């Protein structure tokens, strides 16, 4: 598989994102809301780079993909599960924004629970596809319209453990 970003490039960008995020919250408490499963590797690196003692971490499981094709249906957690974020400053941590359907549905649902603020940090985006459907406050890299694996991103649960990002090729 063709390497898109190697480990060194990834870690450098993660450190820059952590720095920008800390500057944005200016010492106020905030919660990283990590979207499982894809974002867990990125989020673990990002979380350890954030020096603020007031950062917390929570997880949500959302899925819309089967293989390399979006199912088109986003299954969100029930409102009771989102209610725990009310009155908090929430930073959603996502692996990749493709169509943007997953994130826009989640942002709307969170707003409905009365969060203090909701921002988005996505490690990757396919700009061509989501065309601004979602506002990404903190972005790692824009990538081509190709299926990507590694650094937490999978294809049918495979390749998540690659330490780099690669363009997926069927083997």
Q: Which residues are catalytic?
A: 98
Q: Which helix (H) or strand (E) holds 86?
A: none
Q: For residue 84, what are the CA distances in angstroms to 59, 75, 88, 130? A: 12, 18, 9, 29
Q: Provide, rounded to whole angstroms, the least separation between the CB of residue 151 and ligand IMP.
A: 10
Report the alpha-carbon distance of residue 22 to residue 14 in Å, rounded: 12
- Binding of ligand IMP at residue 82 (CB under 6 A)? no
- Binding of ligand IMP at residue 98 (CB under 6 A)? yes
- Binding of ligand IMP at residue 127 (CB under 6 A)? no
Which window, 44-52, 76-84, 112-120, 142-150, contacts ligand IMP (CB under 6 A)?
Answer: 142-150
Which window, 15-23, 46-54, 76-84, 91-99, contacts ligand IMP (CB under 6 A)?
Answer: 91-99
Q: Which helix (H) or strand (E) holds 89?
A: strand 89-97
Spatial neighbors of 84 by CB under 8 A, at least 6 apart, are 58
- Binding of ligand IMP at residue 100 (CB under 6 A)? yes
Q: Which of 96, 106, 136, 162 binds ligand IMP (CB under 6 A)?
A: 96
- Binding of ligand IMP at residue 34 (CB under 6 A)? no
Q: Which of 33, 107, 115, 148 binds ligand IMP (CB under 6 A)?
A: 148
Report the alpha-carbon distance of residue 159 to residue 79 in Å, rounded: 32
Number of residues that bind ligand IMP (CB under 6 A): 18
Report the alpha-carbon distance of residue 44 to residue 26 in Å, rounded: 21
- Binding of ligand IMP at residue 113 (CB under 6 A)? no
Q: Which residues bind ligand IMP (CB under 6 A)?
A: 35, 38, 64-65, 70, 94-102, 147-149, 153
């Amino acid at each position: 598989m063709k390497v898109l970003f190697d480990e060194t490039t990834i870690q450098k960008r993660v450190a820059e994102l952590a720095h920008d995020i800390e500057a944005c919250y200016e010492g106020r408490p905030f919660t990283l809301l990590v979207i499982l499963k894809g974002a867990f590797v990125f989020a673990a690196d990002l979380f350890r780079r954030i020096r603020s003692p007031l950062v917390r971490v929570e997880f949500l499981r959302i899925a819309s993909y089967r293989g390399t094709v979006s199912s088109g249906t986003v299954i969100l957690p029930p409102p009771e599960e989102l209610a725990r974020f009310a009155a908090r400053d929430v930073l959603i941590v996502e692996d990749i924004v493709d169509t943007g359907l997953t994130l826009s549905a989640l942002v709307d649902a969170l707003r409905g629970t009365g969060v203090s603020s909701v921002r988005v940090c996505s490690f990757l985006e396919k700009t061509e596809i989501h065309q601004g459907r979602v506002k990404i406050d903190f972005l790692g890299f824009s990538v081509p319209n190709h299926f990507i694996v590694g650094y937490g991103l999978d294809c049918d649960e495979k390749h998540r453990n690659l330490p780099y990002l690669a363009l997926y090729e069927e083997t």
